[in-house]
Amino acid sequence: MLKLDKQNRFDWDKGNIDKSYFKHGITLNQTEEAFLDEAAVILRDVKHSQKEPRYLLIGQTANNKILFIVFTIRDKKIRIISARAADKKEAKQYAEKI
């Protein structure tokens, strides 16, 4: 199980930095807030981990928006691949954990 702490920093890819906002309306701040959620669900994304380990995070922002985030770890930094609002199934999975 992946364990994140406040020492982990974010490494934003220039090609992806605005993608989540333009595609899904999710800001960088919202994405980073979800990682501060102590109740966040983090799972290994085995299906998409051929080149490097990928992870899924379902977490809540300060404004109570539940997000679904795909990310990897590179040089101890969190690198966001995509972020969007959680769908009903993902939100239910999050609610069952808290």
Tell me: pLDDT of 38 over 80.
yes
Mean per-residue pLDDT of the chain? 90
pLDDT score at 81: 93
**Nearest by Cα to 32 from 13, 10, 15, 54:** 10
For 3-7, 33-37, 48-52, which range has the lowest pLDDT when averaged over its residues?
A: 3-7
DSSP track, 10-24? E---TTTTTHHHHHH
Confidence (pTM): 0.89
Segment 84-97 shows an average pLDDT of: 96
